[in-house]
Amino acid sequence: MPPLHRYLGNPVLSFLGRLFFKIPIGDFHCGLRGCRRDAMLDLGLRGPGMEFASEMIVRSALRGLAIDEVPTTLAKAGRSRPPHLRTWRDGWRHLRFLLMLSPRWLLLYPGLALFVVGALVQGAILTGPVAVGRVVLDIHTMLYAAGAMIVGLELALFAVFVKAAGVAQGLLPSSRVFGGFLAGFTLERGAVLGAVLALAGFILAIWSLALWMSTGLAEIDPRQVMRVVIPSLTLIISGMQLLFSSFVLHFLLWNGDRDPA
């Protein structure tokens, strides 16, 4: 293999495949494979390009098929034509495929990380500035923390949508954890929770308006009022996201014959 494939492309993509899907295979792209024809046909493989090599392994693992790796000896190809593999295009296709079939790593884990970090930072600055050495974190940092929370929640909701759609299309397996989540998170519960969060945000907005009115609608210290406005906006946006996302998830699960709630 060219050095770029041997030391970067193949090792990195194979590592991500093992990490995302817990498949104990050292080389995801070895072309020497043996498989049961009926098992492969039953998987409904649909990769149109080089990512087909990864799809065979990933979809087999998701279906619970037995996979073993045995030693083999490779030699340089004797073909006279140049290889069809295009380094960056096909590398991206493989990476894109791995991410698409792993909503946890693509969406859920980054989303939860953003949300938790944003919540911790916003909570720390809620009562006043926080000094970290010579650096003082104040309302500007708090605003970015609020943005991290909102984006994080959206990514987590996207992860649920992708998982639900993937299960419905037979691309992703269901799980006990996901099934339990769907059983508990109904349209009505999600909508009520979203509405409560949005209402709490509106109450904080009224409080911020009261603070302004107490000054006679004159100039007010932004460091005081923004500590109310930023959490208010965070709650309102998060609540609306959750409320309408509950309808989207209900739509994805609804089959016309049975109410998922």
pLDDT over 90, % of the chain: 42
| Of 87, 95, 12, 94, nearest in space to 50 by CA | 94
| Dihedral of the alpha carbons of 243, 246, 248, 251, in degrees to the nearest 10 | -140
Same domain, 131 and 243: yes
Q: Find which of 12-16, 110-114, 131-135 is predicted with most confidence, using mean pLDDT.
A: 110-114
The reported pLDDT for the residue numbered 142 is: 94
Same domain, 197 and 111: yes
Range of the domain at 144: 103-253
Euclidean distance between CA atoms 34 and 40, whole angstroms: 11
Same domain, 76 and 126: no
- Single-letter amino acid code for the residue at 206: I
pLDDT at 231 over 90: yes
Tokens of residue 25, six digits: 């295979």
Same domain, 203 and 145: yes
Domain endpoint, select from 100, 133, 161: 100
Same domain, 156 and 241: yes
Q: Taking each helix axis from N to C terminus, what angle separates 176-184 and 139-168, rounded to the nearest 10 degrees?
A: 110
Domain endpoint, select from 68, 100, 132: 100
* Global confidence as pTM: 0.84
The reported pLDDT for the residue numbered 169 is: 84
| Of 172, 176, 174, 182, nearest in space to 254 by CA | 182
Count of the separate structural domains present in the chain = 2
Confidence label for 218 from pLDDT (cuts 50, 70 and 90): confident
Domain endpoint, select from 85, 100, 115: 100
Same domain, 63 and 192: no
